[in-house]
Structure 1
Amino acid sequence: MSVLLLGILAVVLLNVYAIVLILLRSRVYGVGLYRPMLLNIALSFLPVLLAIVLGVGLLLLAPVFGRLAQLVASGGVILVWSYLVVATLVWLVFFPNSVYLITELNFSHRGEDTPVPLWYDIVQTLALTLSGIANAVLSLAVVQTMFIVLVDLPGAAIPSSSWVAAGAIIVLGAIGVYLGRYLRLNSWDVRHPASLLWKLTTHLRQPGKALEAFGFVLTHALLIALLYVPLFVLGWSAVRAGAL
């Protein structure tokens, strides 16, 4: 099995395992189904689907762009980059939903009188969190790989420009998580940028909030980076070695 397919399969199975544990929690222990977790898993996996659609869409549209380029000078190049910019921005808006599952470790779904054993909720919530991190890593890896192929000639070394792009995305993802957790904003709130900016500035003006936001973004971004970088390097090395 190729490295790419194995990675996708592992991520899908981790998501399925998290879903199964959430459903079993309700059935086995007779408690209400905590539906927000199921919704969060769906939103978390959405960036993976969008990244795959982004790549497949580029492959399907490439012949069309090529034919248009023959009719209009540089028309194909303009269309390719227009597609990439729009599609990447859509993916980036939903990317924080994957990283957001880290915040589920606050066990907000547990009540004081819950009959669910703590050990079960630990495994269930950890599986949920890891599924989100896995979704973030996989979707970002797909986007960074496309960046390398389109912007730089793939070589033995990973281009530094792609690391800059990946780092910026990780930081933006951490910012998105902060906005979601503390300002209760969603991905679709970008439709109202003025309101979003007003809420953010009002929040950061409160004593200590700016420092808190900086610490939150820094620690979350570093965590994702420490997990993502070695995994991408290993995957890239395997692909370059012919495992793909």
Structure 2
Amino acid sequence: MTAMISAALSSGALVGFSLGLVGGGGSILATPLLLYVVGVAQPHVAIGTGALAVSVNAFANLAGHARAGNVRWRCAVIFAVVGTLGAFAGSSLGKLVDGNRLLFLFGLIMVAVGAMMLRPRRENGAAEREANLATCLLTAAVAFLAGMASGFFGIGGGFLIVPGLMLATRMPMIKAVGSSLLAVGSFGLATAINYSLSGLVDWRLAGEFIAGGIVGGLAGMMLANRLSHGKDTLTRIFAALIFVVAGYVLYRSGQAMMS
């Protein structure tokens, strides 16, 4: 039992650190960590528990980024509200899919996300778009698609939200990281509520995961503010981690489907 608690705390710290640093990597790491490090037996329980923990940690990190002036609230609120509707729809579909098949698709998504992270990003290109009707509609459209993916695969969506916000508004990376956390928290909460109604959340384990995540999130947020102009190396390292975890998830879920 002690080993399981330690695994939950350390895994939560890693997830919180990722959220604070790059605004993503929450559930994309939480689900495999809960399954293969902490030892949760059921994939759907891992998804529901991870979604709850990521939601709470995202809101905690949002408060810190807001104090640092890294949140553009209008775009953040639009993304959170519209994306949450997509997350409810996506999580309802996800519960209907076999758990191991869902994990296999999840692994494929992780590969795509890792490749997307390796693409060079220009922070100083065109000027940031004015928050007019056209920009808000574009933000809403991207938000719904990101929310659908978040709910279906049980991922917080940060790695979709950050580039989505940058695409829709052209805001700088550090602002997109801070603004994304409102949507990450909302997506995760929507997914967690949906899964909890089916009894697919381990509340004690979620509490342990959250405790570790708060500590890791503080460290990640402080590092993000210090390295806001030099994330390329960190992004490549984290993308490599995603590829390793994705390969492991694909291997384990593939074995389960063949057995």
TM range (shorter): 0.3 to 0.5
Higher RCO, 1 vs 2 (CA within 8 Å, ≥6 residues apart): 2
Under a length normalisation based on structure 2, what TM-score does the superposition of the two structures give? Answer: 0.32
Q: Greater Rg, structure 1 or structure 2? A: 1
